C-alpha cells in the first residue's frame, strides 16, 4: 500500500467517524490491516543514532598554585573522566550530512553515527548553531548514497495532524511512536533563542533529541528537541524545531559557512501586554512592539520607529517577538521582506532589506591562565555577534561566547552573553586586553560585567 493510499484511507475513516460518531460496529478485515508501516519503511533508514564522547579533566584551579600543593600535599593534577552523550539524527543529504541537536554533540571530542542497519561511522562537526540548538555533521569515509528525508513545509502543519517520532530513546534502539500535532508556534518554551516550536503528544524521551518528526507522507516536519516532564520520561508534551528553521541551518552548512547567516533587523522588540493593548486600542495583546531602532540598520532604513507595532511578516501573522524572530529569521539573506505595522492606529507596510549584521574579526580566545576567567571563550563584539547573543544597545567590547562546564569561571557564575567591561580598573576593549590581564598574577580581582542590560560589580580573591 502506498503512503498516499494510506493517508487517503485514514482521512476517509476519520471523516466517516465524524459523521457517525455514535455508530458501533466490528471493523472490517481491511481496516484491521491499516498500518503506518509504509511511512516508517520510507523514513526510518534516514534516522541515525548519534554517540558523542568528551574527555573531561577533573582539575581544581587551586592545584595550579605550587604553594597550595606543597602546604596541603596535594598532587599536581587530576584524573580524566570520559563523558558520553546519546542522541539521534537525520540524514538530510545523500552525501552524508546529518542534522541533530547541538546539545547532543556540544563539546564532544569524538562523534559517531550509527545507521539503522547497525553500521557505524565516525563523523565530523560541520556547523553548530546554539541559537536554534541545531548542529550539522558529516559522515566520514562514507562512499555511498545514503537514504535521506525530504523537508516538508512546516508552516502548512495544522493542529490535529498525525505525526510519527523516530529516534533512539534511552539507547534501546531505533523506536517509532505516533501522535498528533498538539499545538503550533509554542513561543514560551525557553529551549533556545528561537522559541517557536511544534508541540506533539508522540512519545519523546531522552535519546530522542535530534530525531525525526515526520508526517504521513514520510517528510521531515521537525527535529525533536525537548520534552516537558516531571518524571524524566514522556508525559505527552514534546517539542520539535520546525523544518523551515532546520532548512536554514542546513543551507548554511551546505554553502560551507561555519555560522548561520540570518537577516538582521536592527531593532529591539518587546511583547505587548494587556495594558499596552488597551492603550493602542487593540482587541487583544498581539504583535511585536518596536522599542528602539539602531542607526543605519535595515529597520532604520525602512522607516521603522519606536512605538510601531509589527503585526506580520510577508503576510504571516506575528503574535509576539518570538514569532517575529522565527518568521524573520527563516527568510533568506538578500531581497526584502514586507512588514505589516500599526502606527498611530493606522495599518501600514514597511519594506525591510534582508541583509546580515555587520561583522568584525571576532578574535576568539579561550582563557586558560589562573584567574576568575579560566574556562571562558571570549570574542570581540560587533553588531553581528550582538545579534547572535541577543544583546541590546551594545555592540562594542568583549563578550563571553562560551563557558567550559565545570571550569573555574563556570563555578563563579559567568555566563554566555556576559560583556566584560572592566577588570581591576582597566577598560576592556578587545579580547587581547582581557587575555593580558587574566595572565597577570593578582590576589584580588575587581570585575564589572554587563548582563541583561544591567551592570554587575564583583570582587574575587585569588
Please list the residues that pair with 455 across neighbouring strands: 450
Kind and range of the H or E element at 328?
helix 321-329
Would you state the cell numbers that stand for residue 119, as one nine-digit string?
553500521
Which entry of 209, 234, 312, 374 is annotated as an active-site residue?
A: 209
- What's the CA gap between 115 and 174, in Å, rounded? 10
Paired sense of beta strands 336-343 and 316-317, if any:
unpaired
Paired sense of beta strands 120-129 and 175-186, if any:
unpaired
Based on the residue annotation, tell me whether 117 is a catalytic residue of this protein: no
- What's the CA gap between 222 and 161, in Å, rounded? 13
For residues 84-116, one letter each, b for 16 or more C-beta atoms within 10 angstroms of the residue's C-beta and e for the rest, the string is ebbbbbbbbbeebbbbbbbbbbbebeebbbbbb
Closest CA relative to residue 169, chosen from 140, 209, 225, 142: 209
Which entry of 85, 88, 103, 418 is annotated as an active-site residue?
A: 103
Based on the residue annotation, tell me whether 291 is a catalytic residue of this protein: no
Contacts of 201 (CB under 8 A, 6+ apart): 179, 180, 182, 236, 237, 238
Work out the burial of residue 347: count CB atoms within 10 Å of its CB; fewer than 13 is exposed, 13-18 middle, 19 or more buried. exposed
- What's the CA gap between 392 and 311, in Å, rounded? 22
Rg (Cα) of the chain, in Å, rounded? Answer: 25
- What's the CA gap between 427 and 238, in Å, rounded? 45
Which entry of 88, 114, 133, 154 is annotated as an active-site residue?
A: 133
Contacts of 441 (CB under 8 A, 6+ apart): 370
Based on the residue annotation, tell me whether 133 is a catalytic residue of this protein: yes
- Name the residues annotated as catalytic: 103, 133, 209
Amino acid at each position: 500500500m502506498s503512503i498516499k493510499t494510506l493517508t487517503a484511507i485514514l482521512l476517509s475513516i476519520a471523516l466517516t467517524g465524524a459523521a457517525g460518531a455514535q455508530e458501533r460496529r466490528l471493523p472490517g478485515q481491511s481496516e484491521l490491516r491499516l498500518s503506518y508501516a509504509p511511512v516508517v519503511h520510507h523514513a526510518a533508514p534516514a534516522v541515525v543514532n548519534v554517540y558523542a564522547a568528551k574527555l573531561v579533566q577533573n582539575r581544581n584551579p587551586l592545584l595550579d598554585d605550587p604553594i597550595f600543593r606543597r602546604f596541603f600535599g596535594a598532587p599536581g593534577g587530576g584524573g580524566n573522566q570520559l563523558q558520553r552523550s546519546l542522541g539521534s539524527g537525520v540524514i538530510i543529504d545523500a552525501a552524508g550530512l546529518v542534522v541533530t541537536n547541538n546539545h547532543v554533540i556540544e563539546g564532544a571530542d569524538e562523534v559517531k553515527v550509527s545507521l539503522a542497519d547497525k553500521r557505524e561511522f565516525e563523523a565530523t562537526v560541520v556547523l553548530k548553531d546554539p541559537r536554534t540548538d541545531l548542529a550539522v555533521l558529516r559522515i566520514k569515509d562514507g562512499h555511498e548514497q545514503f537514504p535521506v528525508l525530504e523537508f516538508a513545509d512546516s508552516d502548512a502543519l495544522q493542529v490535529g495532524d498525525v505525526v510519527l517520532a523516530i529516534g533512539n530513546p534511552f539507547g534501546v534502539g531505533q523506536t517509532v511512536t505516533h501522535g498528533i500535532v498538539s499545538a503550533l508556534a509554542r513561543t514560551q518554551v525557553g529551549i533556545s533563542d528561537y522559541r517557536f516550536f511544534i508541540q506533539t503528544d508522540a512519545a519523546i524521551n531522552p535519546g530522542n533529541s535530534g530525531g525525526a518528526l515526520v508526517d504521513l507522507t514520510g517528510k521531515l516536519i521537525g527535529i525533536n528537541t525537548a520534552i516537558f516532564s516531571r518524571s524524566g520520561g514522556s508525559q505527552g508534551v514534546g517539542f520539535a524545531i520546525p523544518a523551515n528553521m532546520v532548512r536554514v541551518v542546513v543551507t548554511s552548512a551546505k554553502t560551507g559557512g561555519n555560522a548561520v547567516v540570518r537577516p538582521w533587523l536592527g531593532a529591539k522588540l518587546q511583547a505587548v501586554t494587556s495594558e499596552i493593548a488597551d492603550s493602542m486600542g487593540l482587541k487583544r495583546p498581539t504583535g511585536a512592539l518596536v522599542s528602539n531602532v539602531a542607526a543605519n540598520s535595515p529597520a532604520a532604513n525602512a522607516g521603522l520607529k519606536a512605538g510601531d507595532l509589527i503585526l506580520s511578516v510577508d503576510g504571516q501573522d506575528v503574535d509576539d517577538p518570538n514569532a517575529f524572530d522565527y518568521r524573520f529569521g527563516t527568510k533568506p539573506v538578500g531581497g526584502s521582506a514586507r512588514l505589516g505595522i500599526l502606527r498611530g492606529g493606522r495599518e501600514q507596510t514597511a519594506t525591510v532589506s534582508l541583509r546580515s549584521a555587520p561583522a568584525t574579526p571576532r578574535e576568539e580566545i579561550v582563557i586558560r591562565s589562573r584567574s576568575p576567567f579560566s574556562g571562558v571563550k571570549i570574542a570581540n563584539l560587533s553588531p553581528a555577534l550582538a545579534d547572535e547573543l541577543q544583546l541590546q544597545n551594545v555592540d562594542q567590547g568583549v563578550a563571553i561566547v562560551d563557558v567550559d562546564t565545570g571550569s573555574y569561571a563556570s563555578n563563579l557564575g559567568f555566563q554566555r552573553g556576559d560583556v566584560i567591561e572592566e577588570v581591576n580598573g582597566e577598560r576592556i576593549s578587545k579580547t587581547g586586553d582581557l587575555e593580558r590581564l587574566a595572565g597577570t598574577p593578582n590576589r584580588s580581582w575587581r570585575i564589572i560585567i554587563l548582563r541583561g542590560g544591567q551592570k554587575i560589580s564583583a570582587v574575587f580573591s585569588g
